Amino acid sequence: MSSNRPALAASRLACRRGDRLLFKGLDFELKPGQIVWLRGPNGSGKTSLLRLLAGLSTPAEGDVTWGGVPLREAGAGWHRSLCYPAHANALKDDLSVLESLQFLARLHGHAGSEAECGEALKRVGLFSRRHAAVRTLSQGQRRRVALARLQLDAAAPVWILDEPYDALDAEGTGMLDAALSAHAARGGSAVLTSHIDLTLHEPAPTVLQLDGYRVQ
């Protein structure tokens, strides 16, 4: 992929949920090194847009392209270039923290070794809790474990993050900011939602306001 070509793009995108058209006419580009902050009120369609971009649902109109190739022609392999820890943390209550991260890692094509996952847990400050059951963690600690996937998927060029700052304290927020800055410095890009004002400054996020595309 050339350095100026958008990693992910969409043109004239429209989204339908149930019998409602949420938005239409949306053009979008995510360039290497860029962080896009998708904003809009509750119910405006941010999660729905992220799902379209991740290829998990089909637009009512328009196209999503990955490195210039329409997703419907890209085949399943393109998902390896994407890290999308969705809003729900997808952790298994009955597993230990380490086992749960290993499960997620393997599900997403990594070896999921104890060493690799332990290192990722160190980076989110949860190594000492690695043998605790997930059900014993606080919401913020669960969020940190889910975000440890970013450490495992650091090489994935595109991160799609739905409210990643939810439940994080100042230290957790700082860790996520640092992970995003390092990702962008490597040429990676991300699109994220957040109802909380961002503290990320390097790079300064590009705001995409979804309200402008709303269908009344």
Ligand X SMILES: Nc1ncnc2c1ncn2[C@@H]1O[C@H](COP(=O)(O)OP(=O)(O)OP(=O)(O)O)[C@@H](O)[C@H]1O
Binding site for ligand X (CB under 6 A): 17-18, 22, 40, 42-48
DSSP 31-68: -TT-EEEEE--TTSSHHHHHHHHTTSS--SEEEEEETT
Please report the beta strands in the chain, taking only residues with DSSP state E, as ranges in sequence order: 8-17, 20-30, 35-39, 61-66, 69-70, 82-83, 158-161, 189-193, 206-209
CA angle at 47 for the pair 65 and 141, rounded to the nearest 5°: 115
For ligand X, the closer of residues 128 and 209 by Cβ is 209
Smallest distance from ligand X to CB 196, Å: 12
Smallest distance from ligand X to CB 188, Å: 23
For ligand X, the closer of residues 19 and 94 by Cβ is 19
Straight-line distance from the first to the last Cα atom of the chain, in angstroms, rounded to the nearest whole number: 38
For ligand X, the closer of residues 128 and 139 by Cβ is 139
Taking the C-alpha atoms of residue 186 and residue 161, their distance in angstroms, rounded to an integer, is 18
For ligand X, the closer of residues 111 and 196 by Cβ is 196
Reading the block at residue 169, the tokens are: 């304290």
Q: Find out whether 19 and 211 touch, Cβ atoms under 8 Å.
A: no
Smallest distance from ligand X to CB 43, Å: 4
For ligand X, the closer of residues 39 and 122 by Cβ is 39
Smallest distance from ligand X to CB 46, Å: 4
Smallest distance from ligand X to CB 16, Å: 9
Taking the C-alpha atoms of residue 176 and residue 59, their distance in angstroms, rounded to an integer, is 30
